[in-house]
Structure 1
């Protein structure tokens, strides 16, 4: 799923929070101030509608982000409304080694919306072949 150019803009009611003198983060925000109706997406993994996981970290990430967008759509939201993501990965080095390709996949699905994010390495996930899981919060402006 590709994000349209109009969906790449932050809603006017959201404010990126970056204290004066701090460097501009790349690929995420230090904080977001938002007002509106909230949509919470539980921990998603990168399986398809037949519960099959694609091979590899980047492929799972792409499917996972598409899954998030599908749930957001059910709630009347889109990628542009996402204000927070928490990524859980089973191998931080695998994540780091994929960064250039991850950036491309992220922008393809989520656009240029870079919410407040956290990344945590975990020992394992419930689905043993899953490489990552992401929780997401979106805010639809009033």
Structure 2
């Protein structure tokens, strides 16, 4: 079987990348998700709105692989503005819990100079372990 590409139903095609790759042992590698919706449209242009969309995207990929949010083992955040992130700590926590509940995997946050998509304010990549893929 090897690796299986994970692409949530109804999403616009991923061109030149995969949203997720699921291995036989249940390890799910989720490529960097940005704040656009399943049709690659940015509905929000603020940090909290995009962050919420990113987390919803990650959740959709995990579910498409047969898992759930609690299967997430790691999140790596890439943010364009440390000041924007720091200024919204309370809202970040509330938005995170809205999508992910009280599951807090290992996390890293890296401040970056830019992201490929000009409208993107952050990108998050993830790793999950699905018990029975």
TM-score, normalization by structure 1: 0.72
Q: Which residue of 1 is the match for residue 36 of structure 2?
A: 47
Q: 1:103 aligns with which of 86, 90, 93?
A: 93
Which stretches in structure 1 are left out of the alignment for 5+ residues? 1-35
In structure 1, the residue corresponding to 2:26 is in which secondary structure? strand
Q: Give the Cα separation in 1 of the matches to 2:72 and 2:39.
A: 26
Which of structure 1's runs of 4+ aligned residues deviate more than 6 A? none
How big is the alpha-carbon RMSD for the aligned residues of Structure 1 and Structure 2? 1.1
Matches of 2:30 and 2:39 in 1, distance apart?
20
Secondary structure at the aligned position of 1:141 is classed as coil
Query: Does the residue aligned with 1:70 lie in a helix, a strand or coil?
Result: helix
8 A contact 1:72–1:79 mirrored in 2: yes
The alpha-carbon deviation at position 51 of structure 1 amounts to 1.9
Deviations 1:54-92 (A, max 9, x none): 120000000110011111111111111101000000001
Q: Which runs of 5 or more structure 2 residues have no equivalent in the other structure?
A: 1-24
| Conservation of the 8 A alpha-carbon contact between 1:40 and 1:137 | yes
1:127-142 correspondence runs (5 A):
127-141=117-131
TM-score if structure 2 supplies the norm length? 0.77
Greater relative contact order (Cα < 8 A, sep 6+): 1
Displacement of 1:50 after TM fit?
A: 2.9
Number of residue-to-residue matches in the alignment: 107
